[in-house]
A and B are shown apart, each in its own frame.
Chain A
């Protein structure tokens, strides 16, 4: 069989799972839509009544919207860093999982910035940023960085998809509606696997993966600088940018593992996404957990040892069990050590434990970001002597929680829509003769 034929066959096999949505996925789809609709209701409430419906007040001016923003942008590192780096290094085993990673990137970069809008008092004036934008403001840096990042990650995903669209267009066996055929024809442009086309495409992909890595680093650094540029304890730290970047790759990798697990299970991709993938990505997660733990340790040790009073006030809130202590220890220790245990020690290491470790990591990273934002804002320089409890302690309101749930639901919804139009496994890529065969079969 020619390579083309193998590819076509694989395509048919894989797409067979996606062709007709099952009852379960239909139900899930409706469920997610309901959550998003409810979030929409919450949004309308917030827009009409103002942010009084949130838990934010004059001291804690940013709440879980900001947490979600950092969280989603962090997740986007799955595609940018993991798939970018593996692509650049020509790591052969990346191929079956690279598409999932890139989808995560695009979707989370689409959703993350929505939370910035939500935390703005006047969403309706968003365009003022373009009308009156001042380059001195880190927020403007952020807008520029994120739009570039989004454009590039969409391009990266699309370039990698062209070959698959060409396959889909040329396929005779798959029963797809003529409407879809038309879309595929459009999306495949005029790609026909000609040597020159292939060469150019590959070059384009390499360039994109080289661009997307520094871009991703930049995006998260700018994000960290929004906090780092202010004179506030817990934020005003020189290691904030690299700390955020490492945290982001860590959580992005963890989400990738979870996504791999879900797809493998529900779309029966055991043949493509193997235990080996989990182990390899698990090892990456292990290294990142170590790095992240190191950064955390270094950040808090220096601040605590230096014992500047304002800084200490925040630190003690984090260390104290009557305050944020339990959450802090959970996020800073359990969130790092458990994933390390499950990915690092062969005895514990299998697909399920690695995934559990990843889930713990993701949840703890969300909590950690909460602990970065809220306790600092609860500790102003001048004492907070407000007599209204809601002005002293922040509690996210149901509006914020439902919009958070809405974002997560939207994430899954986008995924469900994406996989209907994009092969989740890069068919054309995996049917190629591996460049480096022994690497694939190597025992871990």
Chain B
């Protein structure tokens, strides 16, 4: 344990050095890690400003920073390539990522930017939980098909939607093979006082599309995406591929080594979408998958079961 901690610190240092050199446009991944003390349900959060000052701000994306110009938003943070690594062996469907994300983005009830699926690759293998945000693909099918360029890929790898331009044709939803997008079928219930920016996706706009945005607005001020900090099991690692660091808020790891050592894979790579989200296989699990049902309401449990019955029927 001691050793592990030591090695972590080493990573931290490593990352800091790398981070310092890449400190353009917002804090580095490692300055984000300083926000280890998770808010205990409070609405305030401690964060480290890019200048290194500790401050306390309100949670919620609507309340952060000034709104960047549309050109800046479309360009992204230069020199970065944001990635996420999701460790399937630690997920027990706690759904804290889902609720934190929904809260921070002021989503309508029932809307989820992150969905947690119950997967079973074949009849003989064990089921496992599969949290899935938008993959921020490097060859995004959604961006290709958008008739008005409302959904776009930035230099830093993030795929965003400009809800002020989106015409609601939903072609991107048809094109995305991973069902990552949700539609605002009705007027958003919560209307936070905020100037809209594609970086925050807040406030939502009726008749347009939404999805996980990798929280670039938080990142500019050095905060990790909410799903990362909300997860009690440290499933999500967020970071920068160029900087070669990812962190789950507790530990910071070398991205390249993590994906190599743990045989990370990208879901359905064969579709050619080149996701920015990597999965660590569900081996040596921290929890039996049944744990995931414990806190679920009855109707959700049923929905998960239906699919497995379905799988049997088709002898997959």
Contacts and interface: CB of A to CB of B under 8 A. Distances in A.
Interface of A: 49-52, 56-59, 61-62, 116, 119-122, 125-126, 128-129, 131-134, 136-140, 143, 226-227, 229-232, 309, 312-313, 316, 377, 380-388
A234 B50 CA distance: 50
7 contacts: A51-B168, A126-B167, A137-B146, A139-B147, A231-B177, A381-B177, A387-B300
Given A137-B145, A382-B179, A387-B300, A50 B165 contact: no
B233 to A, nearest CB: 20
Interface in B282-316: 297, 299-300, 302-304, 306-307, 310, 314, 316
Contact of A59 (B118, B147, B179): B179
B203 to A, nearest CB: 15
B207 A121 contact: yes
B94 interface: no
A57 B185 contact: yes
Nearest to A391: B110
Given A129-B147, A136-B144, A138-B145, A381 B174 contact: no
Contacts of A229: 145, 175
Contacts of B304: 385
A385 B303 contact: yes
Interface of B: 110, 115, 117-119, 130, 132, 141, 144-150, 165-171, 173-175, 177-179, 181-187, 206-209, 268, 271, 297, 299-300, 302-304, 306-307, 310, 314, 316
A338 to B, nearest CB: 32
B308 to A, nearest CB: 9
A230 B145 contact: yes
B307 A120 contact: no
A355 to B, nearest CB: 37
Contacts of B173: 58, 61
B147 A121 contact: no
A319 to B, nearest CB: 12
A311 to B, nearest CB: 11
Contact of A377 (B141, B168, B174): B174
B47 to A, nearest CB: 33
Contacts of B170: 61-62, 119-121
Given A51-B168, A313-B314, A385-B117, 16 more contacts: A50-B184, A50-B186, A50-B187, A57-B183, A58-B183, A62-B170, A122-B166, A122-B168, A132-B165, A137-B147, A138-B171, A140-B147, A231-B141, A232-B177, A382-B117, A382-B178
Contacts of B171: 137-139, 226
A381 B316 contact: no
B239 to A, nearest CB: 24
B147 A133 contact: yes
A93 B299 CA distance: 64
Q: Closest 6 A-B residue pairs measured CB to CB? A: A121-B168, A121-B207, A387-B303, A139-B147, A52-B186, A137-B147
A121 B117 contact: no
Given A50-B186, A133-B148, A139-B145, A125 B300 contact: no
A133 B150 CA distance: 10
Contacts of A139: 145, 147, 169, 171
Contacts of B178: 381-382
A129 B167 contact: yes
Contact of A61 (B115, B174, B208, B302): B174
A189 to B, nearest CB: 38
Contacts of B117: 382-383, 385
Given A52-B185, A137-B171, A132 B148 contact: yes
Contact of B183 (A49, A51, A125, A134): A51
A313 B307 CA distance: 12
A126 B169 CA distance: 10
B163 to A, nearest CB: 9
Nearest to A116: B169
Contacts of A388: 110
A383 B309 CA distance: 12
Contacts of B299: 387
Q: Which of B150, B169, B307 has the most CB of A within 10 A?
A: B169
Contacts of B141: 230-231
Contacts of A129: 147-148, 167
B167 A232 contact: no
B303 A125 contact: no
Given A129-B167, A387-B299, A137 B144 contact: yes
Contacts of B271: 231
